[in-house]
């Protein structure tokens, strides 16, 4: 069953068409990937889905509802959350406090950071925080200052923050960017575990083709804002248009 659907989604910046009538679906429970060369329109597509950018034309439908043009806060409330390409954390706060802020915002809407002082009465926030830290294997680091975490663990924390709203759909923008091979392998394993343990649907943007072919159920390929392939990893690998876009015709 389709959880997310775009129909003719287009984003134009002056004379530049960054996303050109993109139509695709993400089924509930799958790991869906978006790939493409630099400048293909991947991030713009994601930003139109999350409300960071307003589409020029087309629609975004989530769980049967039209969410085109909703603000980022409203898309989170609808059930979509995003982890960013670079870790977006509060470095001077503890690991636990970072996730509590996101969980509190999901439970109670906007608030001031000082509101953390009164968190003792919010059992639901504490429970959510514990579950999300455990899901990314950071529960034992709850009292650690976020700035002191290794880079790979900072990215894990950022994923926990995105999960704190308990989304149905998690968007991941290059989750392995800047990671060592060991950190990358651990993150791939984490993505696979999250889908199983949290029953998540995942939409992932990633440059590392080896990772994508390993974890994705289906892959959408963009080039110059347009869809040039959409299918299983095997179908995408065999696409001559994809091979040309990436490697000048050399097989992936």
* Domain at 217, CATH number: 3.40.50.300
Question: What 8-state DSSP symbol labels residue 6?
Answer: E
Same structural domain, 207 and 175:
yes
> Angle at which helices 181-198 and 123-135 pack, to 10 degrees?
130
Same structural domain, 67 and 4:
yes
- The stretch 214-230 carries a mean pLDDT of 95
Token pair recorded at residue 103: 């969980």
pTM: 0.86
pLDDT in tens, 35-61: 998 899 999 999 999 999 999 999 999
Same structural domain, 75 and 182:
yes
**Which domain covers residue 145, as residue numbers?**
86-166
Pairing of strands 65-66, 16-27: unpaired
pLDDT in tens, 64-84: 999 999 999 899 989 999 986
Alpha carbon separation from 238 to 8, 19, 32, 215, 250 (Å, rounded)? 26, 24, 18, 18, 11
Same structural domain, 7 and 43:
yes
Of 151, 166, 181, the one marking the end of a domain is: 166
Mean pLDDT for the chain overall: 88
Q: How many structural domains compose the chain? A: 2
pLDDT in tens, 160-199: 999 998 899 999 988 888 888 898 888 888 888 888 888 8
């Amino acid at each position: 069953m389709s959880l997310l659907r775009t129909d003719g989604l287009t984003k134009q910046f002056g004379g530049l068409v960054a996303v050109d009538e993109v139509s695709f679906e993400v089924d509930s429970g799958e790991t869906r990937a978006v790939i493409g060369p630099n400048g293909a329109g991947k991030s713009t597509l994601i930003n139109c889905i999350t409300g960071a950018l307003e589409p020029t034309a087309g629609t975004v439908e989530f769980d049967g509802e039209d969410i085109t043009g909703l603000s980022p806060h409203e898309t989170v409330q609808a059930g979509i959350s995003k982890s960013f390409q670079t870790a977006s954390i509060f470095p001077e706060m503890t690991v636990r406090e970072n996730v509590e802020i996101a969980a509190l915002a999901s439970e109670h809407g906007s608030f001031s950071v000082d509101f953390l002082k009164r968190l003792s009465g919010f059992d639901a926030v504490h429970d959510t925080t514990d579950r999300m830290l455990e899901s990314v294997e950071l529960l034992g680091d709850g009292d650690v200052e976020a700035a002191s975490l290794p880079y790979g663990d900072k990215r894990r924390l950022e994923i926990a923050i995105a999960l704190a709203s308990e989304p149905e759909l998690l968007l991941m923008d290059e989750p392995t960017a800047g990671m060592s091979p060991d950190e990358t392998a651990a993150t791939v394993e984490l993505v696979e575990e999250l889908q199983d343990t949290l029953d998540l649907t995942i939409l992932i943007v990633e440059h590392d083709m080896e990772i994508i072919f390993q974890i994705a159920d289906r892959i959408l390929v963009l080039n110059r804002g347009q869809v040039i392939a959409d299918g299983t990893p095997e179908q995408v690998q065999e696409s001559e248009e994809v091979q040309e876009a990436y490697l000048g015709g050399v097989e992936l």
